């Protein structure tokens, strides 16, 4: 039977088995090749600290009933897979095609293509639509592990928005921060300033195109940003560290009227968030890049028209194209590879924050 990763309890990861359901006429079965771990989100699940454990997000906020996550459960949403079987009425995909899906950390998954198409237009909210075909002429498939987090970064840059000639600061140079930084550059931001507490991450940021790289351990980065820009601060600041204190730091780097986009995954209390004089100095906006259900809010939502310029399909396709052409560079960002059976070691590594760690993936091609 095929295998999958199961979160059995706080800091308890096991390998389970499951049975594949029969294939329907509009179903596609894929075999996962690579499955990426989303460090911030999955670390919170691993620790049992995710805000939706035992609670469910509904339209009026968190409630204790309805959909919620309770142990044991499976997770994961960054994968590259190969089509291994298609239903009798499937013409969109063929056996052997490579796709980007949203399967949990498991060996196989079934997709119903009709349900996926319905999800794309459900009142403009962020319902995932999978699987996405990948370019057939590309042998470097690992890089498409970054599609999902690339859409998070693109959402942030679109929400900003970043305009040509404007300055941008990106706090946090993990995977999401590095992708956001590069998309700022592609959008014409000048200069783009990367900030992180780890010098090795700043070296990576400079390799991938950051104009300046600053470490708060080495001085007041807000003052240095203003010195670099020769003015009152950056036009748009992105907080990608997932640490609440980064929001205050982003405000410190901005103009008195900045746009601060919160991109990270935030869990627990904000004990390290200090606004202080920034609250008095700044008259800008703090935006959440995934407001409106992990996608840009729909246009004319009240009228029932969902003719958005940007929807989930377009965002994914843009990131796939940028990765395919190399304009979005993820070289060297996968630092650790594990077999699926080694999941306990992989999550322990992420939980402890190993030196030099960037992206951890499960490689199912060696099974």
Question: 152-288: what fold?
Answer: Rossmann fold (3.40.50)
Q: pLDDT tens for residues 224-283? A: 999 999 988 999 999 998 877 788 888 889 887 778 898 877 666 656 665 655 555 554
Q: pLDDT tens for residues 282-293? A: 545 555 555 433
Q: pLDDT tens for residues 7-45? A: 999 999 999 999 999 999 999 999 999 999 999 889 988
The pLDDT score that the predictor gives to residue 56 is 60
Q: Is the bond leading into 72 cis (omega within 30 degrees of zero)?
A: yes
Assigned token pair, 199? 């010098």
Q: Is the bond leading into 261 cis (omega within 30 degrees of zero)?
A: no
The pLDDT score that the predictor gives to residue 361 is 97
For the cut 60, the answer to whether the pLDDT of residue 327 exceeds it is yes
Q: Which helix (H) or strand (E) holds 78?
A: strand 78-86
Quickly state the pLDDT bin for 55 (edges 50, 70, 90): low
Domain limits, the chain: 3-133+332-363, 152-288
Where does residue 153 rank: exposed (0-12), middle (13-18), buried (19+ CB within 10 A)?
buried
Domain 3-133+332-363: CATH architecture, name and number where available: Alpha-Beta Complex (3.90)
User: What are phi and psi for residue 101, nearest 5 degrees?
Assistant: -120, -160
Interacting residues of 255 by C-beta distance below 8 A, sequence separation 6+: 231, 232, 233, 234, 235, 284
Cβ atoms of 169 and 253 closer than 8 Å: yes
């Amino acid at each position: 039977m095929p295998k999958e990763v199961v979160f059995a309890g706080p800091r308890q990861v096991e390998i389970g088995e499951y049975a594949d359901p029969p294939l329907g006429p509009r179903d596609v079965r894929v075999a996962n090749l690579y499955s990426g771990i989303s460090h911030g989100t999955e670390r919170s699940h691993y620790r049992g600290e995710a805000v939706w454990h035992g609670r469910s997000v509904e339209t009026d906020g968190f409630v204790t009933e309805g959909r919620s996550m309770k142990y044991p459960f499976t997770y994961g949403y960054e994968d590259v897979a190969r089509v291994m079987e298609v239903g009798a009425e499937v013409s969109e995909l063929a056996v052997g095609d490579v796709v980007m899906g949203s399967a949990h950390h498991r060996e196989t998954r079934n997709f119903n293509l009709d349900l996926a198409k319905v999800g794309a237009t459900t009142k403009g909210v962020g319902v995932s639509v999978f699987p996405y075909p990948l370019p057939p002429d590309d042998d470097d498939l690992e890089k498409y592990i970054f599609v999902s987090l690339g859409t998070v970064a693109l959402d942030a840059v679109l929400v900003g928005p970043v305009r040509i000639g404007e300055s941008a600061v990106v706090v946090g140079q993990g995977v999401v921060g590095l992708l956001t930084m590069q998309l700022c550059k592609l959008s014409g931001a000048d200069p783009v300033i990367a900030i992180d507490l780890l010098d090795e991450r700043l070296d990576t940021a400079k390799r991938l195109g950051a104009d300046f790289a600053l470490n708060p351990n080495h001085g007041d980065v807000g003052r240095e940003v203003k010195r670099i820009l020769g003015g009152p601060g950056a036009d748009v600041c992105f907080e990608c560290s997932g640490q609440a204190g980064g929001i205050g730091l982003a405000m410190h780097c901005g103009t008195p009227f900045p746009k601060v986009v919160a991109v990270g995954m935030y869990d627990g209390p904000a004990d390290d968030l200090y606004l202080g004089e920034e609250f008095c100095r700044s008259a800008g906006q703090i935006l959440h890049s995934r407001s409106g259900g992990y996608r840009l809010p729909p246009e004319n939502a009240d009228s029932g028209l969902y003719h958005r310029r940007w929807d989930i399909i377009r965002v994914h396709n843009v990131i796939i194209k940028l990765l395919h052409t190399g304009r979005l560079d993820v070289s060297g960002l996968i630092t650790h590879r594990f077999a699926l059976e080694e999941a306990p070691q992989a999550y322990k590594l992420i939980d402890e924050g190993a030196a030099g760690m960037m992206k951890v993936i499960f490689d199912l091609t060696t099974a």
